Amino acid sequence: RGLVRPGGLWTSLDVVQRTGSTNTDLAGSGGDEGAVLVAEEQSAGRGRLDRTWTAPPRSGLFFSVRLTPGPGVPAGRWGWLPLLAGVATATALSRAAGVDTALKWPNDLLVTVDGAERKTGGILAERAGDSVVVGIGLNVSLRADELPVPAAGSLALAGAKVLDRDPLLRAVLRSLEEWYESWRAAGGDPAGCRLQEAYTAGCATLGRSVRAELPGGRELVGEAVAVDGDGRLVLATADGVQEPVGAGDIVHLRP
């Protein structure tokens, strides 16, 4: 439908009725940059750190794309890809569905439902050889009694004006292509393609008091003050130190 076109980023788009995880399938298949795999249903959807992504069949978008930034983008900058996917998805949802989404560092998409922030999407980026497989899960039509976890939300609950999954998928893939091509053209420099600016503007974590649960069990409490050039969240702690956090979970402590 115009997404897979000569010279464009997307080289193939496959839709399967049911699979375990679109990320696992794409990571294992090798092949070209620009492959897109969409599932109507995932029986073993994955989140980060061995967590799961669960959603009823056809209630949302579950898909993965293969990106191969190549030698023009230093590997240290590939960490921006999940953040880039978040910005691209938020841009698309605002344009195509009139829904404001906020980004929770690093990879959650939040919508506001009855005054509370709820997770309506998540992103999982994984290295596969010289590619990165970026998976996006989005809750689209879920009603309040269908939410897989209490903290979840959906585009329907956030008042989206479009709930058909096809146009939403097209909008997200178009936006992802635009952001990715300009990031790659800038050699992965997030400032050079306004990605850092866009992420900062859309990030609900910044300016908040947060607790970071770091790999290995260490915890850090502070104010989230910036996202640095490597995509890390910078925390200003009570003893005046600025600590960049590159991986881990963030808990927003107060609004």
> Which residues here bind ligand BT5, judged by CB under 6 A?
21-23, 42, 45-49, 51, 53-55, 62-64, 107-108, 119, 122-124, 135-137, 139, 148-149, 152
Residue 138 CB, shortest distance to ligand BT5, in Å, is 8
Contact 105, 123 (CB under 8 A): no
Measured in residues, the chain has a length of 255
Query: Which residue in the shown chain puts its C-beta closest to ligand BT5?
Result: 122
Closest CB 241 distance from ligand BT5, rounded Å: 26
Give the residue with the Cβ less far from ligand BT5, 64 or 112.
Answer: 64
Closest to ligand BT5 by CB, 156 or 193:
156
Residue 195: name the closest of 181, 208, 207, 206 by CA.
Answer: 181
- Residue 19 CB, nearest distance to ligand BT5 (Å)? 9
Q: For residues 73 and 110, which CB has a smaller minimum distance to ligand BT5 in the complex?
A: 110
Structure tokens belonging to residue 137: 């899960």
Please report how close the Cβ of residue 104 comes to ligand BT5 at its closest, in angstroms. 9
The pair phi, psi for residue 28, each rounded to 5°, is: -85, -10
> Minimum distance from CB of 134 to ligand BT5 (Å)?
9
Q: Tell me the closest approach of the beta carbon of residue 122 to ligand BT5, in angstroms.
A: 2
Q: Which is nearer to ligand BT5, 21 or 101 (CB)?
A: 21
Under 8 Å between Cβ of 190 and 77: yes
Please, which residue, 100 or 189, has the CB nearer to ligand BT5?
100
- When the beta carbons of 126 and 184 are compared against ligand BT5, the nearer one is 126
- CA–CA–CA angle 153, 156, 157 (5° rounding): 50
**Sheet order of strands, 209-213 included:** 242-245, 233-237, 219-227, 209-213, 249-252
Residue 157: closest CA among 172, 169, 145:
145
Residue pair 183/70 in contact by the 8 Å Cβ criterion: no
